[in-house]
Amino acid sequence: MRRRQFIKGIFGVAAAWPSKLHAQQTQLPVIGFVNSSAARTQVLAAAAYRRGLEEVGFAEGRNVLIESRWADGNPERLPELISELLKRKVAIIMAGGPPAAHAAKKATSTVPIVFTTSDDPVKAGLVSSINRPSGNLTGVHIFQ
């Protein structure tokens, strides 16, 4: 009797194991992308962003998900869009441009934020210094 129960138990665990593994695999980390522009004006930049992620091993749908939010030229929408991303439990926020970076900084002090800007990020109040940004923000300063 014990032997049958043991064998049933082993088969039960073995049968359930693949479904549990599959459930774990579908919980991919989510990158939240937010920009104050309209998506249609940033098609090339968005494609380059995805290519760059792939070059360092992050393929959308395979090992990461990307949730994009576009303010369509209306920066007043950014807090709402970032709130949506935070509710989605994003692992990181990619803020395209100073308006998005400022809105993200105001919205969270715990989720890492990566930003791009052509403005001086120290003078803009995004980071405390270039070499030691501190806080949860870091970024790329595009010199013009």
CATH of domain 28-141: 3.40.50.2300
- Indicate the pLDDT class of residue 24, thresholds 50, 70 and 90: low
Domain ranges of the chain: 28-141
Q: How far apart are the first and last CA of the chain?
A: 78
What pLDDT does 104 receive?
97
Give per-residue pLDDT as tens, 59-85: 999 999 999 999 999 999 999 999 999
How big is the CA angle at 81 (ends 70 and 116), to the nearest 5 degrees?
Answer: 60
* 0.85 surpassed by pTM: no
Mean per-residue pLDDT, 2-22: 47
Residue 2 has pLDDT above 80, yes or no: no
Q: In angstroms, rounded to a whole number, what is the distance separating the alpha carbons of residues 141 and 57?
A: 23
Q: Is the CB of residue 90 less than 8 Å from the CB of residue 64?
A: no
Q: Where are the alpha helices (DSSP H) in the chain?
A: 2-25, 43-55, 78-87, 98-107
